[in-house]
Structure formats: C-alpha cells, structure tokens
C-alpha cells in the first residue's frame, strides 16, 4: 500500500505511481527525490521502514510529511480503491517473482524454515485478498506505537533530533 518510488525509477515510467507515498508525497514535493516503504519479515518479528531521499533543507518537512502519512493510514484514511490497487500490485509482484528460479528457490527455503513445508501460492494470494481496511489501520497503529529507529546520512545538520521525530508519532 505505502509503496513509493523515486523521481526516476528503474523498470520504466509509471512504476509505483499509484502507491500511497508516491501520490501523497512524491507528486507534491519536488524536493523529495525518493520515498519508499520497505519490509523484512522474519519468523516471529519483522521490520517496516520508510526510506526518503531529499534536499537537506527539506529534511524536517520531509520527515513531517512521512510521519503524517503513517498517521493517516493508522487513522483509517485509506479508502477501498487504494487498498484494492495495493492488493492487485502485491499479487502481481508475488506471481512475477515466481517466474525467477532464484527467487523460487529462496522462497522454498524460507517457507520450509518458517512453516516446515512449502505452502501453495493460492494460499498467499487468498491471504492478500482477505486483508481489510481495518487490518491496515490496526497494523500501522501498532507500528507507530513502537519505539522509533532512525538513521540519517549525508548532510544531516537539518535533520530533526530523534526525540523530535519520535514525538510526531505520540
């Protein structure tokens, strides 16, 4: 759902243009070169983050915009159209990834380590289909309730302090 992208994205024009971050940040702020959500999933935990690249003088405003978008999703501002589009994109990515032997081999290994078996693709697609607007809001609420981890690099003098950024989620 959050998706994102850059002012120039590999893979051709239009990639990610309808994702939440692209529509609500990249389309509106030329100072933001990229803004992308990322995840890593483990057996009993996971990592969710948002990476942004912007001009140094826009850092404070860019961080404010990202925090506001996280709060908007947690507050139920996502509509069914956005969720349906995100579901379609997710299912498409799952199916496209299965065309790569390397990714399939890695997927089989991860599933066996995680579940003790390889689950059918249809089961994952069904899980995506069953996601609701409430699920998205509840998950995002849990994410922003946890202590923030923050990293910055480059010209960081204009980046707000950890405390200032963290307080945006309180």
Could you list the mean pLDDT of each consecutive 10-residue stretch along the chain, which spans 170 residues? 56 54 76 83 82 90 90 91 89 88 91 90 94 94 92 92 92
pLDDT score recorded for residue 69: 86
**Count: domains in the chain:** 1
In the chain, DSSP assigns E strands to: 4-6, 32-41, 46-54
Q: Is there a contact between 7 and 25 (Cβ–Cβ < 8 Å)? A: no
**CA-CA distances (angstroms) from residue 104 to 108, 120, 134?**
6, 12, 31
Query: CA nearest 151: which of 49, 30, 16?
Result: 49
Full residue range of the structural domain in which residue 125 is found: 4-167
How far apart, in whole angstroms, are the C-alpha atoms of residue 162 and residue 58?
17
């Amino acid at each position: 759902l959050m998706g994102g992208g850059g002012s120039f994205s590999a893979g051709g024009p239009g990639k990610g243009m309808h994702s939440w971050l692209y529509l609500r940040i990249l389309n509106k702020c030329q100072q933001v070169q990229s803004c992308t959500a990322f995840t890593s999933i483990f057996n009993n935990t996971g990592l969710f983050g948002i990476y942004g690249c912007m001009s140094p003088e826009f850092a404070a405003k860019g961080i404010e915009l990202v925090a506001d978008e996280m709060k908007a999703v947690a507050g139920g501002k996502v509509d069914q159209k956005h969720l349906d589009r995100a579901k379609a994109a997710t299912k498409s990515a799952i199916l496209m990834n299965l065309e790569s032997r390397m990714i399939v081999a890695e997927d089989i290994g991860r599933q066996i380590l995680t579940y003790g078996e390889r689950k059918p693709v249809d089961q994952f697609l069904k899980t995506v289909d069953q996601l609701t607007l409430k699920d998205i809001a509840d998950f995002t609420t849990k994410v922003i309730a946890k202590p923030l981890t923050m990293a910055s690099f480059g010209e960081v003098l204009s980046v707000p302090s950890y405390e200032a950024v963290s307080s945006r989620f309180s």
